[in-house]
Amino acid sequence: MGVIAWIVFGLIIGAVARAVMPGRQPGGIIVTILLGVGGSLLGGWLGYELGMYPSSQGGGGFFMSILGAVVILGIYRAISRPRVMA
């Protein structure tokens, strides 16, 4: 898959993950693209480990990509949350 296709797919997956996850998410379009691409890779790896995909090449399916992106978004929100000093 070409780089442009990965970027477009990442943007779509990242936008869907942001729509599924309630609340306000930090980051802009670049974070959304990285979130989607990372989610696709995480979903593909997880699907391969669970025996859902026959080979480790390529990303996951659409559902597993969204699931991976939601996991990454949750981690990103926890890390980027502003800390309150007491």
Whether residue 86 is contained in a domain is answered as no
Confidence of residue 80 (pLDDT cuts 50, 70, 90): confident
Number of domains in the chain: 1
Domain residue limits at 17: 3-80
In a domain, 85, yes or no: no
70, part of any domain = yes
pTM: 0.75
Confirm whether 48 is domain-assigned.
Answer: yes
- Token look-up 């597993």 returns 64
Q: Using one digit for the tens of pLDDT, what is the confidence trace for 4-39?
A: 877 787 888 888 888 888 777 667 778 777 888 888
Does 30 reside within a domain? yes
Check whether 65 has a pLDDT greater than 70. yes
Strands (E), the chain: none
Q: Does the residue 31 lie in any domain?
A: yes
Nearest 5°: phi and psi at 39?
-65, -40
